[in-house]
Chains A and B, each alone.
Chain A
Amino acid sequence: MTAENKPEHLYIHVPFCRTICFYCDFCHVVYTEEVADRWLDALTIEAERLRDVKNLKTIYIGGGTPNSLSDFQLRRLLDLFAHIQCEEYTVEINPESLDQEKVEILRDHGVNRISMGMQSSDPEELKMMNRHHTMEDLRNAVNLLRQAGIENISLDLMYSLPGQTMRILKKSLEDAVSLEPAHISIYSLTIEENSVFGRRGYTTADEDTEADMYEWICKVLPAYGYEQYEISNFAQKGKESRHNLAYWHYRDFYGFSAGASGKEGHLRYDKPRNLKAYIADPFTREEIPLTREEERFEHWMMSLRMVQGMDLEEFRERYGISFTECYPEITHSLIQRGLLECDGKYLRCTKQGYPIMNEILEEYL
């Protein structure tokens, strides 16, 4: 984990979507075959960086919508990293554009985990978000994957949607659980300024409803066998996302393609969000050198998201100073106020502190 070592995790961003979801402001352009080809050319050049890499712990291909690519393009994409052995290989998938052919391409390239955007099972809500799939599509997609032997499936859901009631949320969650995924991520809606929701002036559910929903989710999912291990993530035993855990452990990772970010040693970097800029120079990136202090804060900021909290020993090993020496007063005060707790090995949020983590982190800034 020292700075000299190479990252053991890889993120690749596929910046294309067939349609634009109204809550999203992420890096994406509407798919055209020609642009996607040129993007793949650029990625091929960038992937040269990994020519000699034989092993990684995790690869994660996210988006955008990776399966917005044509079969041929998807194969080209996966071929770029086919020489790398990895333990967890995740691809994000949209249920409506998944077919047998694509599933086989994925499986044949060693993809062993699928993260699928479900968001809701309510037709009205899906329509409002400009999502074009049904529960039926979702069920079919899950079956296809299972038949192909990909069992490790995660579903993404959303809550605190405009006009969403507890009843609709419950139905969505029950529908999700009925598909028996290994993992569930459930995010409260954030209205991004540059999303369609933002521009149209949509608002989330009010704070009390959101908090009620969150409390309920955190209570009900464990009852179904999904333990919470991060703010928005729940998994069956042993099915936590290893790739995402790497982020929360503040490990290094390669970030490839337009719109991706990476962290290598004492440096974070953002690849251009603009696709043209990326195609013009696949290696261009905006670098953010990190001071020791920034690293410590970011490490804390990310680790605190995990239910288990931050491993104090690991922190000390990485920075040569104990966390409590770094931030003695604040930490002490937060423990006193019942927002943080420490069992000697881990420092974590208490039940009260967890949902208001931003308030805690602000004090460390």
Chain B
Amino acid sequence: MDQKHIRNFCIIAHIDHGKSTLADRILELTDTVQQRDLKSQMLDEMDLERERGITIKLNAVQLKYKAKNGEEYIFNLIDTPGHVDFSYEVSRSLAACEGAVLVVDSTQGVQAQTLANTYLALDNDLEILPVINKVDMVNARPEVVKKEIENIIGLDCSDAPEISARSGLNVDQVLEQIVTKIPQPSGDPDAPLQALVFDSFYDSYRGVIALVRVRQGSLKVGDRIRFMASGAEYEVLELGIRNPKEVRLDALECGDVGWIAGSIKSIRDVQVGDTLTSAVRPAKEPLEGYRKMNPMVYCGLYPSDADKYEDLHEALDKLQLNDASLQYEPETSQALGFGFRCGFLGLLHMDVIQERLEREYNLDLIATAPSVVYHVYQTDGTMIAVDNPAKLPNASKIEHIEEPYVKAEIMVPDEFIGAVMELCQNKRGIFKEMEVIDTGRNMVVYELPLSEIIFDFFDRLKSSSKGYASLDYELIGYRSEDLVRMDILLNGELVDALSVIIHRSEAYARGSEITIRLKEIIPKQQFEIPVQAAIGGKIIARTNIKSLRKNVLAKCYGGDITRKKKLLEKQKEGKKRMKAVGSVVIPQEAFMAVLSMDDDRRK
């Protein structure tokens, strides 16, 4: 079909504002999916996504829409991940579109991610169609919300459809506006091929499948192609679209959105944001905007059973086939043995990967506390990036340490401002500004160390605002701070996997919290275990796990042998799930304990 009849768009929204529900309705109204086939949230494929109500992987479907002008249009709906962890992926899927449908919940109004996503869309020069959702709710206030959008974002909402994605009310208006307001693709069909890779996934039969948007030129089965950033070349063996079932085609034309397969073995060759071109007649320049995604958060993942190291390796390899933003490299811990240092886009990403490793690959994992990447300037003038506290050089070699800071924009109703500001203050936040958005709502801006918000900031924000505050953040650079490594010693032995990098001013309080917490978590053993927190060899906190005094079955007569043996086996099995570190056996949760001490005690 000619480009005139193609519309490429995505739907953007704050979490729970109805993005997935609107996508479902659009699929239905365009007869793409029969009602009976429609599982709720059609585009969210993974179980985990549907369970958590979030979109992790992207998806693109082609819909046919007969517009009121009588002409038939092809809509390519590109789904975007709904979490701040995945903002680069969002920006790439936006870059594959000409327009975005901005869904705003008429009971909640503009939220932090509404703004963040809108700015991302504007950065990519998208036409934005505001849509007011959930107007059938009792507490809907569409007029107020429209004003809000006009005031805060500056988008004209005079003819913004007022819809209910749930019931389907006025969704047809959205479809019409997609035709009339979103520009058609405008590439040159005869130019050398330039196709934007906006997602990829692994298919066990066909290798890596790349999802692409053809910007210039076209491509067909049999073409030699090259990924410009990775330099990898392949032959296109299959290509097509999804509607949402896979449909094979002979060619993707200029302006199309589709998938290609070419027996691509490594997802590293198919980086999101890369440009696909012809190996025979390559484009001079790649499309703009590619950058290698850098993980923000790192943690060590270790199999609790050392024999499962290879299994973990394989599982990570397989997950990475589908997830180019997952990074990992082997690392060795004295305490935990062989494992991997894994980099994630954020905490949610980390959670999801861990959960998938445990669920889909049946692995029992020990995860160390997440860490950000510190820039360590050494006295010899060099700088090293440290993503594992255990790797921090000796204090005498350190000139200074810088840590990543984010600008956090928190949208919060009046009554919770105090609580939210207190939280930010406790997390070493630097207050920047506060803006009244409209009656009763404010945007509070803080600069915060990333390390302070990676763990439980989001949960705490929600609990201190009864769920009303919303957060968006972006990295703003590195700052010098008085940071130190705090080591934990069990029975006099340093357990590298428990080391953390913290601000010196907090060291004493956190040292005592961590040691107490470990005392609660680590079961009593045959001997007394001193638990110490130390900075540079100086003990700053100490407690003792008292030795186990009694563990013997009271009764064991002739008839108790079977039962008693079972009991011993169970006891042994229980310890298998723990990790022997030196002479001390440590349960898995201890390795996260260094983080979970926060403010409950401090308050």
A contacts, CB < 8 Å to B: 11, 187-190, 207-208, 210-211, 214, 231-232, 244, 246-247, 253, 255, 259-263, 268, 270, 288, 297-298, 301-302, 305, 337, 339, 354-359, 361-362, 365
In the complex the two chains form, is B568's CB within 8 Å of A365's CB? Answer: yes
B205 at the binding interface (Cβ < 8 Å):
no
In the complex the two chains form, is A247's CB within 8 Å of B554's CB? Answer: no
Q: Which of chain B's residues have a CB closer than 8 A to the CB of A188?
A: 550, 554
B contacts, CB < 8 Å to A: 524, 526, 548-559, 561-562, 564-565, 567-569, 571-572, 575
Q: In whole angstroms, how far apart are the Cα atoms of A211 and B550 in the complex? A: 6
Q: Which of chain B's residues have a CB closer than 8 A to the CB of A358?
A: 551-553, 567-568, 571
Q: In whole angstroms, how far apart are the Cα atoms of A331 and B181 in the complex? A: 82
Interface centre among A208, A244, A365 (most CB of B within 10 A): A365
13 further A-B contacts with Cβ under 8 Å, apart from A190-B554, A232-B555, A255-B559, are A187-B555, A207-B549, A211-B550, A231-B554, A255-B558, A259-B559, A268-B561, A298-B561, A357-B551, A358-B571, A362-B572, A365-B568, A365-B572
Q: How far is the CB of B491 from chain A (nearest CB, A)?
A: 13
Q: Which of chain B's residues have a CB closer than 8 A to the CB of A301?
A: 556, 561, 564-565, 568
Q: In whole angstroms, how far apart are the Cα atoms of A307 and B524 in the complex? A: 24
In the complex the two chains form, is B551's CB within 8 Å of A270's CB? Answer: no
Which chain A residue lies CB-closest to B560?
Answer: A261
Q: Which of chain B's residues have a CB closer than 8 A to the CB of A356?
A: 526, 548-552
Which 10 A-B pairs rank lowest in CB-CB distance, beginning with the nearest? A261-B559, A211-B549, A187-B554, A247-B558, A357-B552, A358-B551, A211-B550, A355-B550, A188-B554, A356-B551
Q: Which of chain B's residues have a CB closer than 8 A to the CB of A231?
A: 552-554, 556
Q: In whole angstroms, how far apart are the Cα atoms of A244 and B555 in the complex? A: 11
How many A-B pairs with Cβ below 8 Å? 90
Q: Which of chain B's residues have a CB closer than 8 A to the CB of A365?
A: 568-569, 572
In the complex the two chains form, is A337's CB within 8 Å of B526's CB? Answer: yes
Q: In whole angstroms, how far apart are the Cα atoms of A339 and B527 in the complex? A: 11
Write 30 A-B pairs (CB below 8 A) sorted by A numbering: A11-B558, A188-B550, A188-B554, A190-B553, A190-B554, A208-B549, A210-B550, A214-B550, A253-B558, A255-B558, A255-B559, A261-B561, A262-B558, A263-B558, A263-B561, A268-B561, A301-B556, A301-B561, A305-B556, A356-B526, A356-B549, A358-B551, A358-B567, A358-B568, A359-B526, A359-B548, A361-B568, A362-B571, A365-B568, A365-B569
In the complex the two chains form, is A207's CB within 8 Å of B550's CB? Answer: yes
In the complex the two chains form, is A359's CB within 8 Å of B551's CB? Answer: yes
Q: Which of chain A's residues have a CB closer than 8 A to the CB of B551?
A: 355-359
Q: How far is the CB of A357 from chain B (nearest CB, A)?
A: 4
Q: In whole angstroms, how far apart are the Cα atoms of A355 and B551 in the complex? A: 6
- Could you say which of B524, B526, B556, B569 contacts A302, with CB atoms under 8 Å apart? B556
Q: How far is the CB of B74 from chain A (nearest CB, A)?
A: 63
Q: In whole angstroms, how far apart are the Cα atoms of A359 and B551 in the complex? A: 7
In the complex the two chains form, is A339's CB within 8 Å of B568's CB? Answer: no
Q: Which of chain A's residues have a CB closer than 8 A to the CB of B565?
A: 297-298, 301
Which chain B residue lies CB-closest to A213?
Answer: B550
Which chain A residue lies CB-closest to B525?
Answer: A359
Q: In whole angstroms, how far apart are the Cα atoms of A302 and B572 in the complex? A: 18
Q: Which of chain B's residues have a CB closer than 8 A to the CB of A210?
A: 550
Which chain B residue lies CB-closest to A253?
Answer: B558
If A253-B558, A261-B558 touch, whether A362 touches B549 (CB-CB below 8 Å) is no
Q: Which of chain B's residues have a CB closer than 8 A to the CB of A207?
A: 524, 549-550
Q: Which of chain A's residues have a CB closer than 8 A to the CB of B564?
A: 301
Which chain A residue lies CB-closest to B555?
Answer: A187
Which chain B residue lies CB-closest to A247?
Answer: B558
Q: In whole angstroms, how far apart are the Cα atoms of A129 and B259 in the complex? A: 72
Q: In whole angstroms, how far apart are the Cα atoms of A231 and B559 in the complex? A: 17
Q: In whole angstroms, how far apart are the Cα atoms of A207 and B562 in the complex? A: 25
Q: Which of chain B's residues have a CB closer than 8 A to the CB of A255?
A: 558-559
Q: How far is the CB of B53 from chain A (nearest CB, A)?
A: 36
In the complex the two chains form, is B556's CB within 8 Å of A288's CB? Answer: no
Q: Which of chain A's residues have a CB closer than 8 A to the CB of B554?
A: 187-190, 231-232
Which chain A residue lies CB-closest to B556?
Answer: A305
Q: In whole angstroms, how far apart are the Cα atoms of A187 and B555 in the complex? A: 7
In the complex the two chains form, is A244's CB within 8 Å of B549's CB? Answer: no
In the complex the two chains form, is B526's CB within 8 Å of A339's CB? Answer: yes
Q: How far is the CB of A187 from chain B (nearest CB, A)?
A: 4
Q: How far is the CB of A45 from chain B (nearest CB, A)?
A: 21
In the complex the two chains form, is B568's CB within 8 Å of A247's CB? Answer: no
Interface centre among B555, B567, B568 (most CB of A within 10 A): B568
Which chain B residue lies CB-closest to A259?
Answer: B559
Q: In whole angstroms, how far apart are the Cα atoms of A270 and B524 in the complex? A: 35
Q: How far is the CB of B558 from chain A (nearest CB, A)?
A: 4
Q: Which of chain B's residues have a CB closer than 8 A to the CB of A302?
A: 556, 561
Which chain A residue lies CB-closest to B564?
Answer: A301
Q: How far is the CB of A120 from chain B (nearest CB, A)?
A: 15
Q: Which of chain A's residues have a CB closer than 8 A to the CB of B556?
A: 231, 247, 301-302, 305
Q: Which of chain A's residues have a CB closer than 8 A to the CB of B548?
A: 356, 359
Which chain B residue lies CB-closest to A290?
Answer: B561
Interface centre among B524, B553, B557, B569 (most CB of A within 10 A): B557
If A356-B526, A358-B568 touch, whether A247 touches B552 (CB-CB below 8 Å) is no
Q: In whole angstroms, how far apart are the Cα atoms of A296 and B563 in the complex? A: 17
In the complex the two chains form, is B562's CB within 8 Å of A268's CB? Answer: yes
In the complex the two chains form, is A11's CB within 8 Å of B559's CB? Answer: yes
Q: In whole angstroms, how far apart are the Cα atoms of A188 and B561 in the complex? A: 18
Q: Which of chain A's residues have a CB closer than 8 A to the CB of B568?
A: 301, 358, 361-362, 365
Q: Which of chain B's residues have a CB closer than 8 A to the CB of A189?
A: 554
Q: In whole angstroms, how far apart are the Cα atoms of A244 and B567 in the complex? A: 21
Q: Which of chain A's residues have a CB closer than 8 A to the CB of B553?
A: 190, 231, 357-358
Q: Which of chain B's residues have a CB closer than 8 A to the CB of A244?
A: 557
In the complex the two chains form, is A355's CB within 8 Å of B561's CB? Answer: no
Which chain A residue lies CB-closest to B546?
Answer: A208
Q: Which of chain A's residues have a CB closer than 8 A to the CB of B562?
A: 261, 268, 270, 288
Q: How far is the CB of B553 from chain A (nearest CB, A)?
A: 7
Interface centre among B559, B571, B572, B575 (most CB of A within 10 A): B559
Q: How far is the CB of A303 from chain B (nearest CB, A)?
A: 11
Q: In whole angstroms, how far apart are the Cα atoms of A231 and B557 in the complex? A: 11
Q: Which of chain B's residues have a CB closer than 8 A to the CB of A337?
A: 526
Which chain A residue lies CB-closest to B570?
Answer: A362
Q: In whole angstroms, how far apart are the Cα atoms of A58 and B571 in the complex? A: 34
Q: How far is the CB of A240 from chain B (nearest CB, A)?
A: 14
Which chain A residue lies CB-closest to B548?
Answer: A356
Q: Which of chain B's residues have a CB closer than 8 A to the CB of A190?
A: 553-555
Q: How far is the CB of B296 from chain A (nearest CB, A)?
A: 43
Q: How far is the CB of B40 from chain A (nearest CB, A)?
A: 40
Q: In whole angstroms, how far apart are the Cα atoms of A319 and B372 in the complex? A: 60
Q: How far is the CB of B136 from chain A (nearest CB, A)?
A: 48
Q: How far is the CB of B401 from chain A (nearest CB, A)?
A: 42
